[in-house]
Structure 1
Amino acid sequence: MSSPANPFHVPTHRKPAAKLRAAVVGAGYWGSNLARNLKSSPDWDLVAICDLDLDRAGNLAAVLDDVPGVESLEELLDTVDIDAVAIATPARTHHGAVMTALRAGKHVLVESPLADSRAHGMEMVVEADANGLVLMADHTYCYSPAVLKMQELVQAGSLGEILFIDSVRINLGLVQPDVDVFWDLAPHDLSILDFVLPGGLQPSEVSAFGADPLGTGRDCVGHLNLRLRNDATAHVHVNWLSPTKIRQMVIGGSRRTLVWDDLNPQQRLSVYDRGVTLDRQPQSPDARKNSDISYRLGDTWSPALPEREALGEVVEEFAQCIRNNRSPRTNGASGLRVLSVLEAVTRSLGLDGQSAAVEGNEMRLEGVR
């Protein structure tokens, strides 16, 4: 459930409105999920599937009651009447596809990461803003009930001051042909942190360590550390080679600690009223040396969460932003903040793990679409 303080909360009961017309670009795994949710949404008419592989587009279209399939984005824009496109293609293609759609006056939902570089992402954001169009980053996890509750608890101060974050996303996954494990898996965790943390994800610097034990030519195992505000730290572990699948995040605060276990449907969230308290002596010239450390051992509780498909919430949010002319919860600015961190990761890897400054996050883009 969305936080009561969330300015983007959409009431469950809405007056019927004319359906918007959408097409999906990319008929692969994620494109098929997007198409299914658009097809079943009361907000959308799914009117076309676009893919360079026309047979693949046709196969998906047939499953969706013979939605028409087209081979190119240009053909789609020239021949089909649509309000918006949902792009689910490799990140290296996002810039060209998004810019083409925006210049044709279409709103765009684009799979994470927003682009293959921050410069390309910035061009997309500026183009959308100049044309009064919605550009939404498909940070799907941010629309899941668990992550919405995480945002509510963190931003309401229930955890206190954030001290550390530890995130693990590992599985026996497919080695990607064009990106390393950081660009493949870390955008999910980074987008969650950007959504949950007050003010978004704005670390000052990043250090990253990668390994390619199989000799694939790209890192298959990775660790990255981010320096956050008030000397807090975040650590993200991503791995394509683990025989076990773990998708977990621990957010430690001065009052409570939250644990998200996405693969445990019975208890996705746990809140621990446990921690370390440092009682500093304010009159002491050296407060740290003259402080009393105490340990708090309180209760553990699990918030009740509704069961909703996050991607259904994504397509609803996209429609409401178009109709109400407002910025999405995961807008272009949030996509750019994630890209800023990913580029710093790449620079740090080139420096053998030395810290690299995160560039661009000093720019405030609150009003972008």
Structure 2
Amino acid sequence: MVNVGVIGYGYWGPNLVRNYEQMPESNLVACCDLNPDNLKKVKALYPKVEVTQQIDDLLNNPSIDAVVIASSAATHFDLAKKALLAGKHAMVEKPLTLSSDTSRELIDIADKAGCILMVGHLLEYHSAVDYMRGLIDSGELGDIQYLYTQRLNLGQVRTDENALWSLAPHDISIIFYLLGGKEPAEVSARGQSYITEGIEDVVFCSISFKDKTMAHIHVSWLDPHKTRKLTVVGNKKMAVFDDMESSEKIRIYDKGVGVNPDYRTYGEDLTLRFGDITIPSIKMKEPLRAECEHFIQSIQTGQRPRSDGYNGLRVVKVLEAAQKSLKSGGKPVTIAEG
């Protein structure tokens, strides 16, 4: 049994509290939030859970083994650092921090403290994303040529971070998870602030990898459609993951471009292949439950979690480069190694 404390009961915190309170492998001891009204909600739903406005009450509680941080992104570094220095395992919502330097510092602190550091890259624990990873690893799609994602909605506008930092961490983490160890080379991004001056609510971001694979990300708070879609194009087949579909979340297209063996006619050496569309049956599980269970299991076994600190650092490095590109009008920015 792992004793857990949650920091932050605003937008996402209630979902985390629910899962850690319900899981048999964890014991939710306390919840911290600066808003007393939020703490009243916690107490009404979970009378046995301690509530506090003081973070030190969690960090100084010797019975708490792990801290889950669901506060604003700007607070992630300071809170995670305090938790790790207090000897607590830490799960931090995305993004890990707002800079690669502070992300590296958290990794170093966690390693020295012998603590688990995990980032809440939720969609890496999605059953459909796992299925897509299996398609790629099996070679069914062939060599991956490019991917593109769309994460669009009308609303949920933020003023403390732009759409890039708010939405794109999901897609960047999925792209890295699906492509395995492929290393990104450079990033370019363009966006615009239509609602709040200086806060880009629409962003188009492109990532180039060293092996010529490309990935394109479109995020927006200003769109008529609520879209959560990923398309993967291989040289054998193509696949689409549509998270807005209730049941048929993945479609595999047996489509592609081949070379015509008859080269006698100029311009007719390419052939298009139109095959079947397959809709696999996937046993779905709540991604957040899978993510929370993975955190607890990592603590119990001492194994490095899937979305560990290095995973979070890779995402932050791309976000940093994309932000720099945004401010320079879309100029490509090289991603530093290490």
**1:273 aligned to which of 254, 262, 266:** 254
Match for residue 303 of structure 2?
A: 326
Taking the aligned partners of 2:281 and 2:213, their CA distance within structure 1 comes to: 29
Taking the aligned partners of 2:51 and 2:112, their CA distance within structure 1 comes to: 30
1:133 aligns with 2:115: yes
Question: 8 Å contact 1:280–1:290 — kept in the other structure?
Answer: no
Question: 8 Å contact 1:49–1:61 — kept in the other structure?
Answer: no
**1:74 aligned to which of 38, 46, 56:** 56
Match for residue 219 of structure 2?
A: 238
**2:276 aligned to which of 266, 279, 299:** 299
1:323-365 per-position Cα deviation (integer Å, ceiling 9, x unaligned): 1111001111110110010001011112211111112xx32xx
> Under a length normalisation based on structure 1, what TM-score does the superposition of the two structures give?
0.87
1:168 aligns with 2:145: no
Amino acid at match of 1:312: R
Match for residue 235 of structure 2?
A: 254
Match for residue 119 of structure 1?
A: 101
1:33-85 per-position Cα deviation (integer Å, ceiling 9, x unaligned): 00000011111000101111233123123212341101121122224620101
Taking the aligned partners of 2:188 and 2:112, their CA distance within structure 1 comes to: 35
- The 3 A distance-change label for structure 1 pair 159 and 75 is same
Match for residue 96 of structure 1?
A: 78
Match for residue 354 of structure 1?
A: 331
**2:199 aligned to which of 218, 224, 229:** 218
Question: 8 Å contact 2:7–2:67 — kept in the other structure?
Answer: yes
Amino acid at match of 1:108: A
1:205 aligns with 2:205: no
1:345 aligns with 2:322: yes
Question: 8 Å contact 2:258–2:272 — kept in the other structure?
Answer: yes
1:314 aligns with 2:291: yes
Match for residue 194 of structure 1?
A: 176
Q: Can you give the 5+ residue segments of structure 2 that lack an aligned partner in the other structure?
A: none
Structure 1 segments of 4+ aligned residues over 3 angstroms from their partners: 278-281
Question: 8 Å contact 1:36–1:64 — kept in the other structure?
Answer: no
Match for residue 285 of structure 1?
A: none
Taking the aligned partners of 2:314 and 2:101, their CA distance within structure 1 comes to: 12
Taking the aligned partners of 2:267 and 2:116, their CA distance within structure 1 comes to: 54
Q: Look up the SS of the partner of 1:204 in the other structure.
A: strand
Question: 8 Å contact 1:54–1:69 — kept in the other structure?
Answer: no
Q: How many Å apart are 1:321 and its aligned residue?
A: 0.7
Question: 8 Å contact 2:175–2:215 — kept in the other structure?
Answer: no
Amino acid at match of 1:330: S
Amino acid at match of 2:301: N
Match for residue 284 of structure 1?
A: none
Q: Look up the SS of the partner of 1:230 in the other structure.
A: coil
Match for residue 20 of structure 1?
A: 2
Q: Look up the SS of the partner of 1:182 in the other structure.
A: helix
Amino acid at match of 2:324: R
Question: 8 Å contact 2:159–2:196 — kept in the other structure?
Answer: no
Q: Look up the SS of the partner of 1:231 in the other structure.
A: coil
Taking the aligned partners of 1:277 and 1:72, their CA distance within structure 2 comes to: 63
Taking the aligned partners of 1:117 and 1:344, their CA distance within structure 2 comes to: 10
Taking the aligned partners of 2:304 and 2:246, their CA distance within structure 1 comes to: 31
Give the count of matched residue pairs: 336
Q: Look up the SS of the partner of 1:333 in the other structure.
A: helix
Q: Look up the SS of the partner of 2:75 in the other structure.
A: helix
Question: 8 Å contact 1:48–1:68 — kept in the other structure?
Answer: yes
Q: Look up the SS of the partner of 2:58 in the other structure.
A: helix
State how 1:20-39 maps to structure 2 within 5 Å.
20-39=2-21
Match for residue 137 of structure 2?
A: 155
Taking the aligned partners of 1:279 and 1:330, their CA distance within structure 2 comes to: 44
Taking the aligned partners of 1:52 and 1:191, their CA distance within structure 2 comes to: 30
Question: 8 Å contact 1:181–1:220 — kept in the other structure?
Answer: yes
1:253-307 per-position Cα deviation (integer Å, ceiling 9, x unaligned): 01110100000012100111101124799xxxxxxx9993121111111121112
Taking the aligned partners of 1:253 and 1:20, their CA distance within structure 2 comes to: 42
Q: Look up the SS of the partner of 2:244 in the other structure.
A: coil
1:228 aligns with 2:205: no
CA RMSD, 1 decimal? 1.8
- The 3 A distance-change label for structure 1 pair 341 and 129 is same
Q: How many Å apart are 1:28 and its aligned residue?
A: 1.0
State how 1:35-54 maps to structure 2 within 5 Å.
35-54=17-36
